[in-house]
Structure 1
Amino acid sequence: MAVPTQNRPDVAVIGAGVVGLSAALALQARGLSVVVLDREGPAAGASAGNAGAFAFTDILPLASPGILRKAPRWLLDPLGPLSLPPAYAHRIAPWMWRFWRACHPSRVAASTAAQTALMDLSKAELDGFLAATGTAGMLRREGNLQVYEGEAEFVGSLPGWAARERHGIEFRHMGPDEMAEIQPGLSPRFTHGTFTPGWFSIADPKDYVLALAERFRAKGGTIEQAEVTALRAKDTGVAIDTAAGPREAAHVVVAAGAHSHRLAATLGERIPLETERGYNTTLPAGAFDLRTQVTFGGHGFVVTRLTSGIRVGGAVELGGLDLAPNFKRSEAMLRKAAGFLPGLKTDGGKQWMGFRPSLPDSLPAIGPARATRRVVYAFGHGHLGLTQSAGTARLVSELVAGACPAIDLAPFSPQRF
């Protein structure tokens, strides 16, 4: 069947999550015609169920010696901060090997430097992006409080804070009295804390992404529900196979989250993208007097105040795209949260599970496909899709326009593996 070329868009963005829509808006701002294709529609995946944080201070990669020290203990608890379902262990073994190699100190240093560069760019872009999209009123500057159970856990965190200090990140260590001033109602089991005032959040991540979708449409963009099954490079563009028939665009941006590697495979690339399945429970808004986001790092979850309620979630389950959700993980986090925040009302919550697209070295893939520079990848942000969305959007728009990227993209090359 011939593919019609009339009304062919300059760019087709595959993925209507926060990264895809941010990129679509940045491309639109350059005067390009853009269509967004998504199998479900805007804010249907991890962009709706995340913790709502712009975690610009979170520069340390998940792949690190510290996680290797904790992993054996965590993996013994099937409901703990890190789990690997036995049914998926054989499939993820190659990814785990790459993850282990990425934990070498020299690689961690390089990943931290690259992550910091993308964080700095994303933070610098954020205010302008929010103003341009009419979403500035959704930003909250309430900081983040990380809490520790005892001297040993606190001391164990200090190397990470030293790394942040070297990169100019502001924070303040404190004891129980200062912690109580910032967030009353914490259990006395938490004896130490660290507050980072530069940790921002959005009022509600789903509302934010839906607002981006509306702004994109208002500027003349179209969002279509379509399942893209394959991409094929052409001399003058990119052929897009969908379940409803063929399409074509001059350029394509792949920002399809945890499904992105499947599209890359149709172009002949094997990118080791895996899925960190995240769980949460969103409680009614009056469930607790939460004044800042609180991170329980030793237990792998956070508690966040959103307009939609109090969200208790996090942890990592390396379970792929196809296994059934294990909502016992949500229940376990909620039980812990009730003990850590006495007075938390745990009734009336709504459970959720979503897919976080993750690469072994904790850095996203941002750059052109090997087969054609007309396809640009922008996926694999792990826990940091919202945080890095504005910076990634700028980089994608520069790549499509043939401009010099704002930062060195070599560490983010999709072909680095």
Structure 2
Amino acid sequence: MSALPDVIVIGAGVIGLSAAVALQAEGRRVLVLDREGPAAGASAGNAGAFAFTDILPLASPGILRKAPKWLLDPIGPLSVPPTYALRIAPWMFRFWRACAPRRVAQSTAAQTALMDLSKGGLEPFLERTGTLPMLRKDGNLQVYEGEAEFRSSLPGWLSRARRGIDFHHMDAREMAEIQPGIAPRFTHGTFTPGWYSIADPKLYTLTLAKRFVTDGGLIERAEVTALRPVENGVEVIAGSTRRAGHVVLAAGAFSHRIARTLGERIPLETERGYNTTLPASAFDLRTQITFGGHGFVITRLSSGIRVGGAVELGGLDLPPNFERSRAMLRKAKAFLPGLDPQGGSEWMGFRPSLPDSLPVLGTARETPRVVYAFGHGHLGLTQSVGTARLVAGLVAGRSAVIDLSPFSPRRF
């Protein structure tokens, strides 16, 4: 790229690279900067799901009922390390406020709009980037331990039904037809056929990077420390100074630190996710299984069987606690007795999350030439294509195809 870029995208995860590809398709010269390179963060180790049916925000009355019990278990589905509790208190207060029924309804409507946009654009995007063969449509099976847990899930399914989401409640016999080998403690389940997945999230993201470079884009390793608006553009400070007409900030869990150099105080926190990827022969997995009461999923990828999830609100700097991934693996063995837990590789990554479970999508207060696209939490892969379309529109100055006010950087 000999000329100055039209757009610098900060972040080479699935959000940043999807946006870069979308901008490039509109004829823009695009440079991508990332502190580690493509697919080095959460885009490498996620569960690989396009979870379009997952419209209910994490911030909800249901999670408030479960949270006290979960927080008492240091390796349970939700934990806050004691050394981080004071620092995260303001975020937790905002999270609590977002659990009010009116706020949940607003977040659900906004999440649904972004999901619909992303799902509608997914297969055309995959076709254009040569990644359509990676798409799988195996569905998802949510399982419940007993009648009480199943009944408590029904209001959420009713909310999904109102939005036209297809699902089927099942008993143990029907579940076994879809996925044999589930322990009898799980008596009920709900299958969502519209839950898609990608063969391997890291390979998918790396393929996007390769396609972007083949089409004339440039990716450089550089740690961005500041942004500075200038006349008709933005300067990006990353060791040396680079300049472009627009900047897209899609640096995942590190985005709020960069936004702070523009005077923005965005309450982004880091859900530290853990998983173990076992050999493909570990279990005959036919659909993704969600153990919602325990906060983790099991996914079949081309690279193996991935057991992962849970939420540890511990920021960017604390060392990993891999006892969390081992605890999930022990549970997975109990829940799927035929699972072979040997030979796995452990991983920990950062999910960037806002208190109301919605990402930040919009322009900076100081200059509309900086576009924010971060904070997708568990749904970065799921919402990547819709986010890319919205980012391209913001850079071009077009009216957004959905209401962006619920995603405003200044809603807090």
- 2:298 paired residue among 296, 303, 321: 303
- 2:114 paired residue among 115, 118, 140: 118
| Partner residue, 1:3 | none
CA distance in 2, matches of 1:241, 1:379: 19
Q: Deviations over 1:178-203 (max 9, x none)?
A: 10000000000000000000000000
How do residues 126-165 of structure 1 correspond to structure 2 at under 5 angstroms? 126-165=122-161
CA distance in 1, matches of 2:141, 2:266: 35
- 1:221 paired residue among 203, 208, 217: 217
Does residue 205 of structure 1 match 2:201?
A: yes
Amino acid at match of 1:291: R
Match of 1:173, SS state, is strand
- 1:109 paired residue among 105, 108, 120: 105
CA distance in 1, matches of 2:179, 2:157: 21
Given the two structures, how large is their TM-score scaled by the length of structure 2? 0.99
Amino acid at match of 2:7: V
- 1:365 paired residue among 335, 357, 360: 360
| Partner residue, 2:254 | 259
Amino acid at match of 1:128: P
Does residue 406 of structure 1 match 2:401?
A: yes
Does residue 41 of structure 1 match 2:37?
A: yes
| Partner residue, 2:285 | 290
CA distance in 2, matches of 1:410, 1:8: 32
Deviation at 1:368, TM superposition (A): 0.3
- 1:20 paired residue among 9, 16, 20: 16
| Partner residue, 1:384 | 379
Amino acid at match of 2:197: S
CA distance in 2, matches of 1:67, 1:188: 25
| Partner residue, 2:27 | 31
Deviation at 1:235, TM superposition (A): 1.6
Amino acid at match of 1:113: A
How do residues 324-403 of structure 1 correspond to structure 2 at under 5 angstroms? 324-403=319-398
| Partner residue, 1:415 | 410
CA distance in 2, matches of 1:404, 1:296: 40
In structure 2, list runs of 5 or more residues that go unmatched. Answer: none
Match of 2:225, SS state, is strand
Does residue 82 of structure 1 match 2:78?
A: yes
Q: Deviations over 1:99-151 (max 9, x none)?
A: 00000000000000000000000000101100010000000000000000000
| Partner residue, 2:312 | 317
Deviation at 1:8, TM superposition (A): 1.5
Q: Deviations over 1:382-403 (max 9, x none)?
A: 0000000000000000000111
Does residue 250 of structure 1 match 2:208?
A: no
Amino acid at match of 2:12: A
CA distance in 1, matches of 2:258, 2:3: 24
* Identity fraction in percent: 76
| Partner residue, 2:46 | 50
Amino acid at match of 1:246: T
Q: Deviations over 1:304-351 (max 9, x none)?
A: 000100000000000000000000000000000000001100110000
Match of 1:119, SS state, is helix
Deviation at 1:32, TM superposition (A): 0.4
Deviation at 1:236, TM superposition (A): 1.1
CA distance in 1, matches of 2:158, 2:247: 41
Q: Deviations over 1:338-387 (max 9, x none)?
A: 00001100110000000000000000000000000000000000000000
Amino acid at match of 1:285: A
CA distance in 2, matches of 1:364, 1:25: 20
CA distance in 1, matches of 2:41, 2:259: 19
Q: Deviations over 1:192-242 (max 9, x none)?
A: 000000000000000000000000001100000011110001121001101
Amino acid at match of 1:311: R
**Structure 1 runs (4+) greater than 6 angstroms displaced:** none
Match of 2:91, SS state, is helix
Match of 2:267, SS state, is coil
CA distance in 1, matches of 2:236, 2:48: 32
The root-mean-square deviation of aligned C-alpha atoms, in Å, is 0.8
- 1:275 paired residue among 270, 279, 284: 270
CA distance in 2, matches of 1:233, 1:178: 59
Match of 1:12, SS state, is strand
Match of 2:19, SS state, is helix
Deviation at 1:404, TM superposition (A): 1.2
Does residue 233 of structure 1 match 2:229?
A: yes
- 1:187 paired residue among 183, 188, 191: 183
How do residues 168-187 of structure 1 correspond to structure 2 at under 5 angstroms? 168-187=164-183
CA distance in 1, matches of 2:379, 2:248: 19
CA distance in 1, matches of 2:257, 2:242: 18
Corresponding residue pairs, total: 412
Given the two structures, how large is their TM-score scaled by the length of structure 1? 0.98
Match of 1:57, SS state, is coil
Deviation at 1:7, TM superposition (A): 2.1
Deviation at 1:406, TM superposition (A): 1.0
